[in-house]
Amino acid sequence: MKRIYVVGTADTKGEEFAFLADAIAATGANVCRVDVGTRDATVAVDIAAKEIAGHHPRGHSAVLGGDDRGAAVAGMGVAFTRFIQSRNDISAVIGIGGGGGTSIITSGMRALPLGLPKIMVSTLASGDTAPYVDVSDIIMMPSVTDMAGLNRLSRVVLHNAAQAIAGMAASPAPPPDGKPSIGLTMFGVTTPCVTAIADQLRTAYDCMVFHATGTGGRSMEKLADSGLLSGVIDITTTEVCDMLFGGVLPATEDRFGAIARGKLPYVGSVGALDMVNFWAPSTIPERYRGRLFYEHNPNVTLMRTTAQECRAIGEWIGAKLALCDGPVHFLIPEKGVSALDMEGGAFFDPQADAVLFEAIERTIRPNANRRVTRLPLHINDPEFAKAAVAAFLDIARL
C-alpha cells in the first residue's frame, strides 16, 4: 500500500512534525512518519532515526552519537538518500525542517524520480533554494515563522501543506499519451536547427527541449536517469565549454553520464562549442582580457573558444561518449557550429572548428555502435536538421 512519507527532525521540530503528520492522516491518507533527527525523538515516529542512519555506508555509528552536528547532518543526508531510494511504497514525500533538516531531506528528495510529489516546508524556502532543489521538482514552501513551537500562522501553513500533499497523492497526474519522450538541447544560436528537428519528430515523439544553460543539460539527464526518455538529440553541447573554462552556465563532470548508464539512442553535435558564457563585461576574469567577445545582451557576454580550447573540449566530449555502449551517432557540421560561427559571423573560425572536429573524431573511438559523420553544412541549415532526424530514427529502431 502506498503511503505519504512525512519526514522531519523529531528531536528539534517534534511538535510541528506531529501536527503535519496528523493533518495529513486526517484527510484519510496513509502516513509514514520518518525521523531524520540526530538526537532522541520527542514524538512518536514509524521509522526511527537509528534505522535511517543504518543505511549509511559505515552504519549508524557514522551518523549518531558524535559531538559534531555538522558531520551528523551530512551523514544523515547520505543515509536518508540511500534509505528513500530503497522504498517502493511512496505515493508522495513531505518534509519539514530548518537548515539542517532541509539539507537532509532535500538530499533524499533529489534522488527520487521526477513526477513523484515532493514538498519541503522550510525556513529557507524564501531565499536561494538552488542548493536544495537543483534540477529536481521539489516544491519549496516557506514556513514564514521559525519552527520553535506551533503558533496561529504555522498551523495554517502546515495545514495548507498537508492538504497540498494529500491532494497530489490522491490524484496523481494521468499517464502520458503513449508517445515516447526524447530530450533535445537548444541555445539561441542553435534554435533554427532544434526547432526544425522537433517539428519533424513531434507526431511520433513527445519532444522535450532543454535550454543548454547548465541546469538544462542536467535536467535532461535527470529525466534520462529516471527512465523518462527514450532517446536524446543533443545538438547543443555548449555547457562543456563553460565547465572547462570557467563560464557561468557549466555542465558537471557527469555530462553524458546518463546516456552511458541508460544506453539510450543518442544523436549529438557540436552546437555552440564556439563560445564560453559570462555575465556583463565587468565580470569576465582578468585572464581573458583581450580575447574575442560578443555582447549577446547587456547581461550576457560570449567569448570565442580558441583552437587550443577547442581541442580540450573535443577530447573531453569524445572521451565521455567513448564510454557509451548504446547507439551513438555524432554529427559534425563542417560549415559552422552556431549562428555566430558562419562566414561573415563574429565567431567564424574554420581553423578552430577543424581542431574541435578532429579531437572528437579521434577520441570517441568509433565502432559499430558509435559513429561520427561529417556533413558539408552549417548547423542551422535545414538539411542538417533533416540529417539529425534521419540519424535518430535509424538508431532508435535498433
User: Cα(47)–Cα(94) distance, rounded to whole angstroms?
Assistant: 15
Same domain, 140 and 219: no
Residues pairing with 333 in the sheet: 375
For residues 309 and 244, is the Cβ–Cβ distance under 8 A?
Answer: yes
pLDDT at 167 exceeding the cut of 60: yes
Q: Is 63 exposed, middle or buried (0-12, 13-18, 19+ CB in 10 A)?
A: buried
pTM for the full model?
Answer: 0.85
Same domain, 211 and 152: no
C-alpha cell at 11: 528531536
Same domain, 155 and 186: no
Q: What is the pLDDT of residue 302?
A: 98
* Rounded average pLDDT over 370-397: 97
pLDDT at 49 exceeding the cut of 70: yes
C-alpha cell at 101: 533538516
* Rounded average pLDDT over 38-46: 96
Same domain, 187 and 154: no
Q: Which of 170, 200, 226 lies at the terminal end of a domain, its last residue?
A: 170
Q: Which of 170, 194, 224 lies at the terminal end of a domain, its last residue?
A: 170
For the stretch 52-107, pLDDT in tens is: 999 999 999 999 999 898 999 999 999 999 999 999 999 999 999 999 999 999 99
Q: What is the pLDDT of residue 397?
A: 77
Q: Does residue 176 lie within any of the structural domains?
A: no
| CATH label of the domain that carries residue 277 | 3.40.50.12030
Same domain, 134 and 275: no
pLDDT at 257 exceeding the cut of 70: yes
Residues pairing with 209 in the sheet: 184
Interacting residues of 186 by C-beta distance below 8 A, sequence separation 6+ = 194, 195, 209, 210, 211, 212, 235, 236, 271
Q: Does residue 175 lie within any of the structural domains?
A: no
Structural domain count of the chain: 2
pLDDT at 398 exceeding the cut of 60: no
| CATH label of the domain that carries residue 70 | 3.40.50.12020
Same domain, 235 and 255: yes
Q: Does residue 282 lie within any of the structural domains?
A: yes
Same domain, 141 and 226: no
Q: Kindly provide the residue ranges of all beta strands, DSSP E only, lying in the chain, ordered along the sequence.
A: 3-8, 31-35, 90-97, 118-122, 139-142, 181-186, 206-211, 231-234, 266-268, 275-278, 293-297, 300-304, 328-333, 370-375
Give the number of other CB atoms < 10 A from CB of residue 17: 30
Q: Does residue 247 lie within any of the structural domains?
A: yes
Same domain, 28 and 117: yes
For the stretch 185-229, pLDDT in tens is: 999 999 999 999 999 999 999 999 999 999 999 999 999 998 889
For the stretch 226-239, pLDDT in tens is: 888 999 999 999 99
Same domain, 268 and 387: yes
Same domain, 241 and 145: no
Q: What is the pLDDT of residue 308?
A: 98
Give the number of other CB atoms < 10 A from CB of residue 173: 8
Q: Does residue 140 lie within any of the structural domains?
A: yes
Same domain, 165 and 202: no
Report the SS3 class of residue 349: coil
Q: Which of 170, 205, 238 lies at the terminal end of a domain, its last residue?
A: 170
Structural domain including 257 reads 181-396
Same domain, 129 and 200: no
